[in-house]
Amino acid sequence: MTISDGRIGAKRPGWARWLGSTNTITQQFLTLGGRADVVSLAGGLPAAELYPIPAIQAAARRALETHGSAALEYGPVEGFPALRQLIAARVTAETGGVFTAANVLLTSGSMQALDLIGKVLIDAGDLIVAQSPTYLGALDAWRPRQPSYRRLDWDSHEAGFGEALAKAKFVYAVPNYSNPTGVLVAQDRRAALLDKVIAAGTWLVEDDPYHSIQLDGPPGRSILSHCVARKSGPYDGPVIYLGTVSKSLVPGLRVGWVIAEAGMIQNLALAKLATDLSGSMFTQAVTLDLLERDFDRHHAKTIVPLYRERRDALCREASLHLRDWFEWDVPVGGMFVWLRAKNRAIDTDELYKFAIEEKVAFVPGSVFDFAGEDRSAMRLNFTRSSPEVLAEGVRRLARAIGNYVSSRPQLKGRDRSRGASSG
Ligand SMILES: Cc1ncc(COP(=O)(O)O)c(C=O)c1O
C-alpha cells in the first residue's frame, strides 16, 4: 500500500463511463444559487414559510399512535398498504376508472419513479420522445442508461414523428404547468397524443407534480383520465402517471406515487427492491393521515393565492425591466416563468456569469434541453421568494443583462426597439 498526497493508494479505478456525460453545470448553478448573498430565482422550491409544520407534527403523532411499530419497520416494497388504497380510491374518483392498490407504487418522490422507469424500460440507445425543454431531473435520472431523445411534437406535424413514436420506449410529458416552461397543454392535444401513443404501442409517462398549483383555474383532465375514458374495466392502459406531495404539501416527506397497469407496477417494485428495499413507512403513514383528512386540498387554498401574488409580482417587475431583451407567457399554474431572448444571439450560459456578479441566480435554458443547444432562454422561479425579493432579483438581473450586452458589441442596439412582450 502506498501513501501519496495524504491519500492511501495513488491509483484508483476509473469512474463509470456515464459520469463523463454528466451535466455538472446544473450543480454549479444550484450551488451558486444557494449562496446567502445571492437572490436565487433558480431553485424549484415551495415557499418554506408556508410549510404546515403543526399539521405535520399532529399527523406524525397520530400516525405513531395508530400504526405503532408498523410505521417504523421496513415495509412492503410497494408502499404502506392503506396509502396505496387511498391513492387508488382518489384516482378512481378523479378519472372514473377502475383502480386498486395493485395499480399503485409509492416512491421516494416522483424523482425515484423516474429513476425506476429508466431501470425497467431503458437499454443503451433506446429512444425517448420528450418535451423539449424538459425537466432536468428526468434527464439526470436517465443519463446513466444512455438513451437517445427526440422532441415531442404534440401536433404530430413533423415528418417521421409517427415512426419515431413506434420506435420509442416511452413518451415523457409534463402537461400541467411544465417544468421549466410553465406551459399548460390543451386538452385536444393531450387526446391526440394519446391516440398516437396507443396506435404506436408505446408507453406514455405523465409527470404531474404541479397539478395543485392552479393559479388561474383548473388544468382539466389528465392524460390518464382520457385513457380511462377509452376503455372500461380494470386499468390496463399505456399511461404511467406520476404524482407527489412535494409541491402540494412539502418535499421533505419524499412521498410520491406511480399509477400504472399492474404488470408495470410489479416490475417497478422489483427495481425498487434493489434500490432501497422499502420506502419510509413513517412518512408514508404521516402522508396517509394528512390525505385522509384532505389536508393537501385545504392547504392548496392557502398556498395558491400567495403564489399567484408572487407570479404577478415577478411578471410585473420583468415587464418594467426585462422586456427589451426577453419575452414570456404568464404561466397559469406551476412555479416558473420561462423567459426567451428576443435576440437568439443572447447566450444565457454566458449571461449567468454576469448575473452571479450582480448576485442573482436563474437556471439557463441549456440544462433543460437534451441536445444542450437551446442557450437563449432562462427559467425563473417565483414561489420561493417574497414579492420584494423577486423585485430586487429582477432589478439585479436587468443590471446583469446591461453589463452582458455592453460586453458583446454585436448585441448592442439590436432588438431593443421591438414591441412589448407578452409578459
Ligand atoms: C416535472 C418534475 N417531475 C418530478 C419532480 C420531482 O419531484 P419529487 O420531489 O416528487 O421527487 C419535479 C421537481 O421539481 C419536477 O419538476
| CA separation for the pair 325, 7 (Å, rounded) | 50
Question: Could you give the CA distance from residue 164 to residue 128 in angstroms, rounded to a whole number?
Answer: 9
Q: Which of 135, 184, 249 to mutate to test the pocket of ligand 1 (most atoms within 8 A of CB)?
A: 135
Residues β-bridged to residue 149: 128
Measured in angstroms, how far is the CA atom of residue 406 from the centroid of ligand 1? 37
Do 286 and 358 lie in one domain? The reply is: no
How much is the pLDDT for 26? 66
What is the residue with the minimal CA distance to atom 16 of ligand 1?
179
Tell me, yes or no, whether 8 lies in a domain: no
219 and 312 assigned to the same domain: no
> In the structure, how many helices (H) and strands (E) does the chain have?
13, 15
pLDDT tens track for 270-289: 999 999 999 999 999 999 99
Are residues 86 and 214 both part of a single domain? yes
Which alpha helices (DSSP H) does 246-372 contain, by range? Answer: 262-276, 281-292, 295-321, 348-357
d(CA 289, CA 281): 12
CA distance 91 to 86: 9
Residue 30, pLDDT score: 64
* Predicted local confidence at residue 422, as pLDDT: 36
Question: Ligand 1: distance of its center to the CA of 109 in Å?
Answer: 7
Domain boundary (251, 266, 293) is at 293
Q: What residues make up the domain containing 269?
A: 53-293
- What is residue 347's predicted lDDT score, i.e. its pLDDT? 96
Nearest-CA neighbor of 275 among 75, 102, 115?
A: 115
222 lines ligand 1 (CB under 6 A): no
Same domain, 281 and 388: no
Same domain for 279 and 305? no
pLDDT of residue 194: 96
Q: How far is the CA of 110 from the centre of ligand 1 (A)?
A: 6
Q: Are residues 115 and 227 in the same domain?
A: yes
Mean pLDDT of the chain: 92
> Which atom from ligand 1 is nearest to the alpha carbon of 112?
11
Asked if residue 26 has its Cβ within 6 Å of ligand 1, the reply is no
* Alpha helix stretches (DSSP H) within 204-294: 223-230, 262-276, 281-292
Answer yes or no: is 422 within a domain.
no
Residue 390 within any structural domain of the chain: yes
Low-confidence spans in the chain with pLDDT less than 70: 1-6, 22-26, 29-30, 33, 413-423
Q: Is residue 416 in a domain?
A: no
211 CB contacts (<8 Å, ≥6 apart)? 176, 219, 222, 243, 248
- Residue 17, CA distances (Å) to 21, 22, 120 in order: 8, 10, 20
Structure confidence at residue 384 (pLDDT): 93
* Residues 337, 241 within the same domain: no
3 CA to centre of ligand 1 in angstroms: 43
- Does the beta carbon of 214 sit less than 6 angstroms from any atom of ligand 1? no
pLDDT, position 20: 78
Q: What is the dihedral of CA 305, 331, 317, 361, to 10 degrees?
A: 100
Q: Is the CB of 207 under 6 A from ligand 1?
A: yes
SS3 state of residue 96: coil
Q: Are residues 280 and 358 in the same domain?
A: no
Query: How many other C-beta atoms lie within 10 A of the C-beta of residue 356?
Result: 17
The answer as to whether 12 is a domain residue is: no
Q: How far apart are CA 361 and CA 376, in angstroms?
A: 16
Domain membership flag for residue 306:
yes
Question: Given this model, what pLDDT does residue 44 score?
Answer: 87
16 within some domain: no
**Domain CATH for 376:** 3.90.1150.10
- CA gap 410, 26 in Å, rounded: 28
The cell 403523532 sits on which residue?
Answer: 61
Q: Are residues 236 and 190 in the same domain?
A: yes
Does 37 share its domain with 182?
no
Q: Is the CB of 241 under 6 A from ligand 1?
A: no
Does 211 lie in the same domain as 117? yes
Ligand 1: does its nearest atom lie under 6 Å from the Cβ of 243? no
Cα(251) to ligand 1 centroid in Å equals: 9
Q: Is 423 in the pocket of ligand 1 (CB under 6 A)?
A: no
Please indicate whether residue 257, judged by its CB atom, sits closer than 6 Å to ligand 1: no
How many domains in the chain? 2
Does residue 15 lie within any of the structural domains? no
pLDDT digits (tens, 9 = 90+) for 196-206: 999 999 999 99
Among 237, 269, 293, residue at a domain's last position: 293
CATH number at residue 265: 3.40.640.10
**Do both 365 and 395 map to the same domain?**
yes
User: How far, in Å, CA of 88 to CA of 90, rounded?
Assistant: 5
